[in-house]
A = this chain, B = another copy of it.
Amino acid sequence: MENNRRADSIWADIQRIRAEAPLVHNITNYVVMNTTANALLALGASPVMAHAEEEVEEMAAIARALVVNIGTLSPPWIAAMFKAGGVAKRNARPIILDPVGAGATTFRTETARSPMEELAPEIVRGNASEIRALAYDERSTRGVDSAHAPEDAASAAEALSRRSHGVVVTSGAVDLILSDGATDRVFNGHPMMARVTGMGCTASALAGAFAAVNPSTRDAAVNAMAVMGIAGELAAGRSPGPGTFVPQFLDALYLLTESDIRERLKVTES
């Protein structure tokens, strides 16, 4: 897909999200809940954060996508994650998995691996260390940051994608989106995004919104990463530091125009 057709696809998705306000169910971590909810709202989607075992099945049943993020999990949340995931699976709703910090501790790696196997998420998005941990059980010593560039995780992503039959996004300076043998690369983005907590989690949440309106999970993943990157570039141009970056990033998502996308989009496929 060349840049023009990719821009068409992104803009069509954004228009659908703004028109339909798809309900996106998030089981996510405490640190980023506010930011990801606001990012989904700014994009035009309708976020709901619900993790109680007593209600996640009903919530998943009315939502159009489920985003599962293991950033600050504890055992009851894991049970909720599987309950919600089971419903999403039965209803053929897309599941997005964010394995935050996989590789940093055994608990996180295992917590990320079991939904990977049992729920076969349509999209997994992590940094290179997280993707390597999921594929190879590799240990990391950087907490939730990556010690690797996305290209270092290319074969890990391929192995994972073969196992899950889903899309694997390895995000970083250049994002790699691997699906069924094809590889898309998104060159948009800005280094300031690494100085703010929750940008990766926000990418996963936005992937939920795109997957809610686009039946191609590959397109949904590429479009979400491109929109993240373009909004990041726009925001970085208006903020000297990471504090003012976040409000500007949310404004950029809200104000995003077709020409912002056409002028800035930098993707390749192979």
Q: What is A's interface to B at a CB cutoff of 8 Å?
A: 21, 23, 25, 29-35, 37-38, 41-42, 46-55, 58-59, 62-63, 71-76, 101, 104-108, 141-145, 195-198, 239-244, 246-255
Contacts and interface: CB of A to CB of B under 8 A. Distances in A.
A32 to B, nearest CB: 7
A41 B49 CA distance: 25
Protomer copies: 3
B254 A59 contact: no
Contacts of A240: 251, 255
Given A197-B47, A246-B247, A247-B246, A141 B101 contact: no
Contacts of A37: 31, 197-198
Contacts of A76: 74
Contacts of A42: 195, 241-243
A106 B23 CA distance: 18
B246 A55 contact: no
Contact of A250 (B21, B29, B48, B243): B243
Contact of A244 (B32, B54, B247): B247
A55 B105 contact: yes
Contacts of A247: 243-244, 246-247
Contact of A249 (B34, B72, B143, B243): B243
Contacts of A254: 195, 241-243
A109 B239 CA distance: 41
A142 B23 CA distance: 7
Contact of A101 (B48, B143, B249): B48
B62 A198 contact: no
A176 to B, nearest CB: 23
Nearest to A240: B251
Please give me the 6 A-B residue pairs with the lowest Cβ-Cβ distance, nearest first. A243-B250, A241-B251, A48-B143, A243-B247, A55-B107, A55-B105
A255 B239 CA distance: 12
Given A37-B197, A55-B106, A59-B105, 15 more contacts: A23-B143, A31-B37, A38-B197, A41-B197, A42-B243, A47-B197, A48-B143, A49-B72, A52-B74, A52-B75, A53-B74, A55-B108, A58-B106, A74-B76, A241-B253
Contacts of A197: 34, 37-38, 41, 47
